[in-house]
Structure 1
Amino acid sequence: MSKRLTRHIVLIGMMGAGKTAIGSELARRLRVPFTDSDAEIEAAAAMSISEIFARDGEAFFRARESQVLARILAGAPGVISTGGGAWMQPHNRAMIAARGLSVWLNCPPELLWHRVRQRPTRPLLQTADPKGTLLRLLDERAPVYAQAGLEFLSQAGDSIEASATRLIAALAGADPTLIQELP
């Protein structure tokens, strides 16, 4: 039996929360497109996010991020993974609410740190104290992330497949009209 989404599923949360990994698996299972907004920005700019931050600054990046998000949201419903800071912009939250269900992938701080500590591709963590920066960002962002339509708690030891299974059940419980069975 085939499924159809009535709105986008938009994954939000901190870097390292699993938005791309879980989002890819979720889209595969639902047989809908998966779009990583950061990858779309990199493709459009023909440079990495780190390079965009270094050359043009965070404000420029956030403006491009909003433009790309608007373009993706204008398309057919699918699963979208956003950058960790995208949800912090009120206009992005409004765009997402109008076209989709926001899902906060809430991940314990130590698991986030374990996943991102060896990654030089995280421009906001290029500081003298990257772990402290990550924890500060999480403290600042968590109250705003909590405004999402659904909070999904990561469980230690969950595989991507197990997380996707739990998330599908949570989505069905949060909005029974989101995923429709087609004959």
Structure 2
Amino acid sequence: MTDFLSADLMQNEILTPLSPADLQRLLQPGHQSIFLIGMMGAGKTTLGRQLARHLKREFYDLDHELEARCGVPVATIFDIEGEAGFRRRETLELDICSRRPEIILATGGGAILAEANRHMLKERGTVVYLRANINELYRRLERDKTRPLLQTANPQERIASLLAEREPIYEQLADVVFETGSAPVHLAAKQLLDVLKEQEVIS
């Protein structure tokens, strides 16, 4: 038995706007939360953990938080409720996570599709787009069987389609764009830290 939220409970959840005082608390210069966006396979979770360790901050992965709340994997939520049901739950979880001060949050690849999500991300912290090209994304994901959106006959074509749809949104939403490339994780994390310091996102 899982603790899956009922549909009625979900529909009754209200996204309460933050007060000016709460926003001010979240947006202290040099101490803002960092929200990582980008395609699946772009390195949001891996780099996010490294950033959090270097900055001595709490790290959260939005999908993992959602799985813990629902008691089932993301793939199961997709199976039972479809993508639309998953996206509703994702918005509620993002609202909860993004209220926490001075965190590093790795979002799901499609979290930027909902206008409410984009508003929360932009309003409550600094948004960093981790960009990777199609070939690099496919190399990282080709053996991953846990991604519901890639369970197709041609995963590489699906990645290309998703990237074409989402990249303009990632770029428009981002305060910082960082190319992940093929550098080792520890080196990429150091480079990203340098960029964030240069842009005075962190002190």
Gaps in structure 2 of 5+ consecutive residues: 1-28
Identity of aligned residues (%): 39
Give TM-score, length-normalised by structure 1. Answer: 0.92
Shift of 1:97: 1.0
**1:91 is matched with which residue?**
116
Shift of 1:89: 1.5
**Secondary structure in structure 1 of the residue aligned to 2:135:** helix
1:48 aligned residue (73, 79, 89): 73
The residue correspondences of 1:14-163 to structure 2 (distance < 5 A) are 14-147=39-172, 148-156=174-182, 158-163=183-188
Tell whether the 8 Å contact from 2:50 to 2:186 is kept in structure 1 after alignment.
yes
Tell whether the 8 Å contact from 1:5 to 1:78 is kept in structure 2 after alignment.
no
Counterpart of 1:40 in structure 2: which amino acid?
Answer: E
Shift of 1:129: 1.4
Equivalences, count: 174
Counterpart of 1:125 in structure 2: which amino acid?
Answer: L
**2:202 is matched with which residue?**
179
Shift of 1:59: 0.7
Tell whether the 8 Å contact from 2:57 to 2:103 is kept in structure 1 after alignment.
yes
1:133-152 deviation line (CA, Å, top 9, x unaligned): 11110111111111111110
**Secondary structure in structure 2 of the residue aligned to 1:14:** coil
Shift of 1:5: 5.1
**Secondary structure in structure 1 of the residue aligned to 2:46:** helix
Tell whether the 8 Å contact from 1:104 to 1:146 is kept in structure 2 after alignment.
yes
Counterpart of 2:180 in structure 1: which amino acid?
Answer: S
1:103-155 deviation line (CA, Å, top 9, x unaligned): 11001111100111111100001112111111110111111111111110122
Counterpart of 1:179 in structure 2: which amino acid?
Answer: I
- Give distance in 2, aligned partners of 1:155 and 1:119: 19
1:149-180 deviation line (CA, Å, top 9, x unaligned): 11101222x11111111111111222x1x323
Counterpart of 2:117 in structure 1: which amino acid?
Answer: N
**2:9 is matched with which residue?**
none
2:189 paired with 1:167: no
- Give distance in 2, aligned partners of 1:80 and 1:36: 6
- Give distance in 2, aligned partners of 1:150 and 1:140: 20
Tell whether the 8 Å contact from 1:87 to 1:145 is kept in structure 2 after alignment.
yes
**Which structure has more RCO (C-alpha within 8 Å, separation ≥ 6)?**
1
Give the structure with the larger strand fraction.
1
Runs of 4+ with >6 A deviation: none
Shift of 1:76: 1.8
1:48-92 deviation line (CA, Å, top 9, x unaligned): 111100111111111111111110111121100000000121211
Gaps in structure 1 of 5+ consecutive residues: none
- Give distance in 1, aligned partners of 2:155 and 2:98: 32
